Each structure stands twice: as C-alpha cells, then as structure tokens.
Amino acid sequence: MHIPNGFLDPVTAATTTAVSAGVLAYGWQRLRQEISRHSPLTLGMVAAFIFAAQTVNYAIGHHTSGHLIGAMLAVVVCGPWAAGLLMASIIGVQSLFFHDGGTLALGANILNMAVIATAVSHAVYQRTFEKTGKRRLAMVLGAWLSVVAAAGAAAMELAIAGTSAFTEVLPAMLGWHSLIGAGEAIITLACARCFLGQTGKNLNLPQVKRYAEK
C-alpha cells in the first residue's frame, strides 16, 4: 500500500501532504494534553511490532501492493491521537531509511495509513461497542474496515494522479485488502490480548480498559 515516488502528480502529492500535516499537528496538540498517560515502553513495543508487520508486502498489480497496517491495534493500546502519530512516525522511517514508499508520496501514505486508517479504526470501534457492547466484534470490524478504507483512499489517489484507471485499481485494491483486512482482524485480537495484559493501565479508552480485565 506504500505508494512509491513518481506515482502521484505534484498537485495530489502536495494536497495529501498538506492534509496530513494539518491533522498531525492537531493530533500533537491533543496528545500533549494526555502524554503523561502513555508508557514509552508500550509505545515502543507497539511501534516495533507494526513496523515489522508492515515490511511484509504482497504485490497485487496495478502499481500497488498489500500488507498489514496495524492501526486498530495502535488505537486500542495507545489511544487515537498517539496511534496516529505513532503510525506516521513508522511510515516516515520506512520511507526515509528503508525506501518503503516514496518520499514525495510520504504525505499520501501518512494520510492513508496513519490518518484515515486510525480515524476509521477509532470511529468504528466506538460506534460498534456502543451499539453492541461487544469489544472483540468492535476490534474485528475496526481492523477490517481500516484496511479497506486505507486501500480505497490509495486507489483514489492513484486514479486522480492518472497512474491507474479507477475502474481497475479500485477493485484490485479493495479485493485483496478485504482478505488482508481479515488477517489483520485476527492478528489485532491476538496482539491486543497480549498488550492489554501488560499495559491495561495505560489505555485511554475506558471500554478497552475493561477489555483488559476480562
């Protein structure tokens, strides 16, 4: 899902960079109000796991690839604002030091996997839990939809930039990432249990905190 250099036109690249920068700046302001709640060890463990998980890529055609994202796991363990900044940091390191995703497309990649995926994860989790009271179901839906939403956003950016036809890239991205999202949901449940068992007191979401007690 990491978009390489040369796949976005200057307007699309600049627009996605501006949007990402604005959201991250706001997220940082919000995070500063609650930074004392976060354990550096917890953030580091989550970042290391997600970084490693994202290095496994699968080519799916139409100038795209698929991989796990980890946004729902980051939201569950760290809260939405910390999760967004954590994901952005991971994507930035991957781009600048490992050439996984182009530097000129960094804004788009952050928008897709750090901003959109995190926002969808958090929103779906909150709404599903409020409606059903089932935390595991909320995590599964949040994880799956975050992957699909990020893939759809990447497909739209490639289509707008003229890299791939919308009617070709969107079905390819959504089809494969629907399957990848199912895998992400399973991994999120397993890893959430592990992380929450160790770091439940650091969580920002009350409903997730109660999950750690079960």
- The pTM of this model reads 0.85
Answer whether residue 114 is part of any domain.
yes
**Is 85 among the domain residues?**
yes
Q: Is residue 17 part of a domain?
A: yes
| Contact criterion met (CB below 8 Å) for 72 and 139 | yes
Q: Which domain CATH number covers 68?
A: 1.10.1760.20
How far apart (Å, rounded) are the C-alpha atoms in residues 141 and 123?
Answer: 10
152 in any annotated domain: yes
Residue 1 lies inside a defined structural domain of this protein:
no
156-190: per-residue pLDDT in tens? 999 999 998 999 999 988 988 898 899 889 988 88
What range defines the domain where residue 201 resides?
Answer: 10-212
Three-state secondary structure string covering 85-148: HHHHHHHHHHHHHHCCCCCCCHHHHHHHHHHHHHHHHHHHHHHHHHHHCCHHHHHHHHHHHHHH
Q: Using CA atoms, how far apart are residues 163 and 161, in angstroms rounded to an integer? A: 6
Residue range 92-116, pLDDT digits in tens: 998 999 888 899 999 999 999 999 9
Contacts of 100 (CB under 8 A, 6+ apart): 2, 54, 55, 57, 94
CB atoms within 10 A of CB 30: 15
Q: State pLDDT tens for residues 19-57.
A: 999 999 999 998 887 665 666 777 888 888 888 877 766
Query: Does a structural domain hold residue 4?
Result: no
Contacts of 144 (CB under 8 A, 6+ apart): 178, 181, 182, 184, 185
Structural domains in the chain (count): 1
The pLDDT of residue 65 is: 59
Distance of CA 82 to the CA centre of its chain: 12
Q: What is the pLDDT of residue 100?
A: 83
Write the pLDDT tens digit of every residue in 195-206: 776 544 444 444
User: Does residue 5 lie within any of the structural domains?
Assistant: no
Helix axis angle for 10-32 and 80-98, nearest 10°, is 130
pLDDT at site 214:
38
With respect to residue 105, please indicate whether it lies within any of the assigned structural domains: yes
Rounded to whole angstroms, how far apart are CA atoms 83 and 119?
Answer: 9
